[in-house]
Structure 1
Amino acid sequence: MTTQFSTTTTPARFLLLGDSHAAPIGRAAKAAGIAFSGGPIGSGRDFNAGFLELRADDVAFRDTEAQAYYQGFLDELGVAALGQLDVPVISTFGFNVHTFATTENWQLYRSADGDFPPGFLTSRLFDGIVRVMARDALAFYRHAGELGLRVLAVLPPQRVPAMADPQVFLAAQDTMVRALTALGVELVDLRARVTDASGFQRPELCEANDPIHGNLAFGRLILTELLDRGL
């Protein structure tokens, strides 16, 4: 899901970069008349590892279409490189954790009874595996911070498709939260506000006929949080 959002009449308040989880944020901002530039530039699985080249004051996406979207956003903002931005960056990179949690990826680590060994999902081994899976996403956030930008990462809808393991989803998400906190990235974490007793996303905040995404109401909650933080 890639959607180019455009704001050309008033100065943009932030740059939105991410996967399809960025779409509800963009739709909410557009509906509210909040000026911004950006939007989804590809599928979440494409923004974990091997998608990025770091440059002195910029980044380059290896995928031609993603790079074209990104360059268009910078042009719209009137800058030539990421490091020249004077607005915050909002991103969903690295939080398509349902792909990390694909059940078959973790069969090797299960015991004969099908369960994970005690402590595995909080172990250094698990943490290290997830960080390797998300290495370019983490590199993006690290580099943006080193360029002096205000960077906010948005946690995903708390939804786990059938092909993924809910335990791994939650544990991998916690790994990403720890990694980004250590990098000084601000986290937009609405888990306590969007989940029910099951620990997962409330139905009214889920995109209809879709096992993964949040809907416009979810995007509005994120936008409200961003505005409350001064964006």
Structure 2
Amino acid sequence: MTTQCSTTTPPGPARFLLLGDSHAGCVGRAARQAGLPFVGGPVGSGRDFLGPFLDDGDDVDDGDGDGDGDGDLVFRDAETRRLVREFLDVLGVTGFAGLGVPLVCTFGLSAHAVATRQNWDIHRDRHGTVPEGFLRSGLFAGLVRAGVRGALAFYEQTAALGLRVLAPLPPQRVPGMSDPAVFFAAQDVIGAELAARGVEIVDLRARVTDGSGRQRPVFCQADDTIHGNLAFGRLVVAELLDRGL
């Protein structure tokens, strides 16, 4: 699901801009239910924000009517660019450089996509397992960084613009297409890379997982294998409020 949560003027000054993949959906629903004013929502699927997804903001029309991107963050995909432009218009800013509220974002955090089993078959041992030593290696970290290089470039630019960015870790759910060991190891690499770029990681794992590190059913969307439900979204929103949003 990639439908945006809000493109209309909120019932009060917006507290944050929400951008992301479908994992942002439960956050938006919980914020609306709590009466917390925000703008934004999902603008694509998780895989859309792993590889490069930005263009040079100096060369691409960002839709604000002046024919260029003003050196700002400009999305390659036309529909994503349109949605983001609508969100920024509601906030009354011409670009991310003028954003006066925190950005809550889930780009690059779809570790289940990075952990797709077939991508790691070449690294398996004779037991069919990806060795723990490899998962802790510099080679593994480099492969993960390459797999999410588009998201890392995005967060490098948000840091350069001086934005406050908060990134909720996704639900700890590993679908059958993904390798669990790779999922958890890749998530750690991604989280460290985002933190190094000034992103505040919203980590609820201690509150929502069981002894295996998997998401407890009470925080899972019942009709799919990767998403969190409204209860999970409420915990994220509560944490955002605790952090001053």
TM-score band (shorter)?
over 0.9
Matches within 5 A, 1:15-94: 15-55=17-57, 57-94=71-108
The separation in 1 between residues aligned to 2:43 and 2:33, in whole angstroms, is 20
Q: Is the 8 A contact 1:89 1:151 kept in 2?
A: yes
Instruction: Give the ranges of 4+ consecutive aligned residues of structure 1 lying more than 4 Å apart after TM superposition.
Output: none
State which drifts further: 143-152 or 56-65.
Answer: 56-65
**SS at 1:112 equivalent:** coil
**SS at 2:198 equivalent:** coil
Decide whether aligned partners of structure 1 residues 226 and 54 sit closer, same or farther in structure 2, where only a CA change above 3 A counts: farther
1:18-48 Cα shifts (integer Å, max 9, x gaps):
0000000000001111110000001101110
Counterpart in 2 of 1:137?
A: 151
Gapped regions of structure 2 (runs ≥ 5): 58-69
Counterpart in 2 of 1:217?
A: 231
1:136-182 Cα shifts (integer Å, max 9, x gaps):
10111111111011011110000000000000000000001111111
Question: Root-mean-square deviation (CA), in Å?
Answer: 1.1
**SS at 1:42 equivalent:** coil
- TM-score, structure 2 length as denominator? 0.91
The separation in 2 between residues aligned to 1:143 and 1:122, in whole angstroms, is 28
- TM-score, structure 1 length as denominator? 0.97
Q: Is the 8 A contact 2:130 2:181 kept in 1?
A: no
Q: Is the 8 A contact 1:6 1:36 kept in 2?
A: no
1:87-133 Cα shifts (integer Å, max 9, x gaps):
00000001111000000000011123312245100110000001011
Counterpart in 2 of 1:2?
A: 2
Q: Is the 8 A contact 1:177 1:187 kept in 2?
A: yes
Which residue type is aligned with residue 2 of structure 1?
T
**SS at 2:19 equivalent:** strand
Identity of aligned residues (%): 60
1:199 aligns with 2:199: no
Q: Is the 8 A contact 1:17 1:92 kept in 2?
A: yes
1:37-68 Cα shifts (integer Å, max 9, x gaps):
00000110111012112436421111111111
State which drifts further: 97-106 or 139-148.
Answer: 139-148
Which residue type is aligned with residue 229 of structure 1?
R
Length, aligned pairs only = 231
